[in-house]
Amino acid sequence: MNKYVVDLHSHSIISDGLLTPEEVTRRAASKGVSLFALTDHDAIAGIPTARLVAAAQGMHYITGVEISAAWHGYPIHIVGLGFDDTHPIMVAALKNIRIGRFARAEGMASEFDKIGIHGTLEGARKYAKNPELIGRAHFARYLVEMGYAPNVNAVFKKYLAAGKPGYFPHQWAEFTEAIEWIRVSGGVAVLAHPGRYEMIKGEREQRLLAEFKEAGGIGLEVISGSHTTEQYRFYEKMAKQYGFEASIGSDFHEPPKTGETDFGQLPSLPTGLTPIWERWL
């Protein structure tokens, strides 16, 4: 049952992580992970390297991506696992999302201009190691460099969270579409870190889970680096109630400095849940 140390959620410089796909994959292996997926935001260019390095390190590898999507206007993240990363529908859909991210980045930069903080688009681009993908984390790193806040987390709190002066609303793909891209390319859709959607709690959260399932979602990230132990228990219960298979992922972005989760630190799945990875083993 606990034959594998599983981590099916992580990021590299292909999106907003700080390590290369090779470094991320090596680190996972060195921390004891034996079943691994790299899941960059809206980008799959790291997959071929991650797959090769994982094989060389003796890890089981599953293709992954974390798609930015909208549920009734609220941003959510959907992890796709086990799809064909050359499938033309998936490739084109992710490319479109990345293009949309540039329009959003221009909007963000003009919000910053309005409050007298100039040059943020150029600044953020410096931190976007993959020139095809830009996101809030790249802006955050530039604002830290410029001394507007002591760290990335503080930049998010002060400028980049919804309603803050650097926030620019964006229309992401509908969650039903994202689930469909994953499905047609042969994969399964997992609702990422459900505990993190602060605007989607209570009755609304129950609607999200029901609609995610109804739209073809298969899995729930029960064990996440951004969940508390209370949330592990809550989402264990939700997975059972809604009939979701369960996933585990650290959401690794960089070697931890303060509270972030490293590879190999997460608990295994509570008993009684169906591991989503069994289908690939």
CA dihedral 95, 51, 27, 5 (to 10 degrees): 110
User: Binding string to Mn ion for residues 247 to 276, with x set by CB under 5 A, is what?
Assistant: ----x-------------------------
Q: Which is closer to Mn ion, CB of 7 or CB of 111?
A: 7
The residue from 34, 57, 130, 153 that contacts ligand AMP (CB under 6 A) is 153
Q: Using CB distances below 5 to 8 A depending on partner kind, what does residue 69 bind out of Mn ion, ligand AMP, none?
A: none
Show Cβ contacts of residue 138 under 8 Å, excluding neighbours closer than 6 positions: 16, 124, 125, 127, 128
The residue behind tokens 């992401």 is: 172
Answer yes or no whether residue 68 interacts with ligand AMP by CB under 6 A. Answer: yes
Answer yes or no whether residue 273 interacts with ligand AMP by CB under 6 A. Answer: no
CA angle 212, 217, 223 (to 5 degrees): 95
Give the Cα separation of 245 and 20 in Å (integer).
30
Give the Cα separation of 231 and 239 in Å (integer).
12
Answer yes or no whether residue 156 interacts with ligand AMP by CB under 6 A. Answer: yes
Q: Which is closer to ligand AMP, CB of 16 or CB of 236?
A: 16
Answer yes or no whether residue 135 interacts with ligand AMP by CB under 6 A. Answer: yes
> Phi-psi bin for 146: left (phi > 0), alpha (psi -120 to 50), beta?
alpha
Answer yes or no whether residue 253 interacts with ligand AMP by CB under 6 A. Answer: yes
What residue ranges bind ligand AMP (CB under 6 A)?
Answer: 16, 41, 68, 135-137, 152-153, 156, 253
What residue ranges bind Mn ion (CB under 5 A)?
Answer: 16, 66, 77, 192, 251
